Amino acid sequence: MNLDLIDVFATGALSGNPLAVVRGGAALDPAQMLALTRWLGFSETTFLLPPDEPGADYAVRIFYPAGELPFAGHPTLGSAAAWLAAGGVPQRDGVVVQQCGAGLIEVRIDGDVLAFRAPSLRRSGPLDAADRAEAIRIAGVDPARVIAAVHADNGPGWRLLHLDSARAVLDARPVPSAPVPSDIGLVGAWGADHDRQFELRAFFTNAGGRLVEDPVTGSLNASVAQYLVAAGHAGAPGYIAGQGQCIGADGRIAVTIEAEAIWIGGRTRIVAQGARVTL
C-alpha cells in the first residue's frame, strides 16, 4: 500500500486541510481502515479502490475518526488529486468521476484547482427547537446572532447555524465535548469590501466525544451554498468563502453557481507521495 498526503483548499504552503489517501488497500477491512484513520489523526483518510460502477474512474471509501462517511468534500478533491498524480487518466476530458457512498460525484479539473459538483441534500429545512438549542450550545454562539438554524445533511449530518456576521462566526466559543456524532456548521457574511464574501467554521466529534474544529470543509461548503442559494443570500456566478482562521489554517473555497449545479472548488497540493504502509 502507498500513502499520499494532500493539502486541500490551500492558499499557500500547508494552509488548507490535510488529507491522507491510501492507494492499494483493497485487502483492508473496514476495521483496519478505521484504525489507520484514527492513528493518522487527520479529520479524514480515504482509500482508493477499483470502481464497479460504469462511468466511474475510481471508487473511494471515506473514514473519519468516528466511522465511515458516504461523502465528504475535501476528501473528494484530495482523492481525485492523488489519483491523477499517480497516473490516473479520466474517461472524460477534464472531468474525474468518483464512486462513493453518495453515488457518482463529478470533479472538474483546471490545473491544480479541482471542483466537485455538490450532491443533493439528504435533509434540509429548519431544526426543531431542541436541535436548534443544542447546536447553539455546542457551537458556543449567542442565540441573538442566529438568523437561521437548518439541516444541511449531504453525508455528514450538518446542523447549520447562519449567523448575522462573519465576526460572529469567528467569535464562537464551542464546548470541548459533545455527543457522538455531532456535526455543527457556522456561516456568516463579510462586508462588501472584503476579499471573501462568507466565513465558515465546522465542528465534529471524534470517537471519544471531543469536539474538533475542521480546517476547511468541502461538504459543509457544499450544503451551505445550497442553503444560501435557496434562501436568496447568494446567486450566480458564485462567491469566495474562507475557513480555518481560528485554528491556523487559511482556506479559500471557490463556489460556482450555475443553473443546474453548484461546484465547490479549491487548490490541491501534493505534500508527500508514495510512502509505504504496512499494517
Q: Is residue 124 part of a domain?
A: no
Residue 247 lies in domain? 129-261
Specify whether 249 is located in the same domain as 269: no
Specify whether 200 is located in the same domain as 256: yes
Mean pLDDT of 129-140: 98
Specify whether 212 is located in the same domain as 272: no
What would the DSSP string read from start to end of 83-94? HHHTT---SBTT
Question: Any idea what DSSP says for residue 256?
Answer: E
Specify whether 111 is located in the same domain as 140: no
Specify whether 167 is located in the same domain as 81: no
Reading phi first (left if > 0) and then psi (alpha if -120 to 50, else beta), residue 68 is in beta
Specify whether 38 is located in the same domain as 162: no
Residues 235-259: tens digit of each pLDDT: 999 999 999 999 999 999 999 999 9
pTM: 0.94
Distance between CA atoms of 276 and 141, rounded to whole angstroms?
A: 44
Mean pLDDT of the chain, nearest integer: 96
Specify whether 173 is located in the same domain as 108: no
Q: What is the predicted pLDDT for the residue at 206?
A: 86
Cell of 226: 445550497
Sequence-distant (≥ 6) Cβ neighbours of residue 115 within 8 angstroms: 77, 107, 108, 254, 256, 263, 264, 265, 266
Residues 139-156: tens digit of each pLDDT: 999 999 999 999 999 988
Distance between CA atoms of 171 and 230, rounded to whole angstroms?
A: 26
In 20-148, which residue ranges form alpha helices assigned H by DSSP?
30-40, 73-85, 129-139
| 57: CATH | 3.10.310.10
* Res. 207 pLDDT band, cuts 50 70 90: confident
Q: What is the predicted pLDDT for the residue at 123?
A: 96
Identify the CA nearest to 64 among candidates 85, 47, 83.
Answer: 47
Q: Is residue 7 part of a domain?
A: yes
Distance between CA atoms of 52 and 59, rounded to whole angstroms?
A: 8
